Chain A
């Protein structure tokens, strides 16, 4: 019961704040959109907690809400965008078609997921009343064990990726190298 209440709370919060990033009246000022996105990330972190992904919930707040959104806010304030720089929010026919197509695809997806709920494995399934969760699921030890035992090469490649991103960001943003 508690889990369901928290799911609806965090889920509704995530959807509403993500909508505020996208919906026109709120996102005229990019700072407001960025703050709404931070609130959305916190709601997502709550959902990760419900899924027993404790490490990822903390990483979500540290990396997304902390590092990435601070970077966004820095750039927004550095550019100091006015109405002239933002330009007109045009609405073309292609955009409307994309909007309708996207809504259609998602409604089909949601209907399919909702009607196939019985065939998907979940805790309420009478055949498996409890989901298989070992002690310490989602903690640093468990995730680190899986990461360094089976995914060591991708982990090291992540370091190279971040190095490339740092060099690329400096090269792109520097006025004259």
Chain B
């Protein structure tokens, strides 16, 4: 049975919104020096990608975009766990979470 749900918001609006959110996240990654905020900005970028996948899934009417988004959420959870563990390990050694002050490999 085909449901006749009108799709009144064009696909391009969702893509533009995802592009804007991805930019906000990327700017956060580039400009913030607090490691926790950098990780949060990465989460924003992953969310923007999820939005793109789901918008295309809605337009095409298949569930594959949903499956991929599920995997992205799982990867984001793993990334957050390892990233935060790294931040804690770095903080224990250097007493800072500022990524500019981590220059041990620059000598």
Contact = CB atoms under 8 A, between A and B. Distances in A.
Interface residues of B, number: 81
B17 A48 contact: no
Interface residues of A, number: 95
Interface in A14-33: 14-15, 18-19, 21-22, 27, 30, 33
Interface string A124-138: 100001111111011
Interface in A45-89: 47-48, 50-53, 55-56, 59-60, 63-64, 67-68, 71-72, 75-76, 78-79, 81, 85-89
The 4 lowest CB-CB distance pairs between A and B, nearest first, are A123-B7, A87-B98, A165-B78, A132-B61
30 contacts: A14-B21, A21-B28, A21-B40, A21-B44, A22-B28, A22-B37, A30-B34, A33-B36, A51-B57, A56-B50, A64-B47, A72-B84, A87-B101, A90-B33, A102-B23, A102-B26, A103-B27, A113-B16, A120-B10, A120-B12, A122-B11, A135-B1, A135-B2, A143-B63, A146-B64, A158-B71, A158-B74, A165-B78, A165-B79, A175-B92
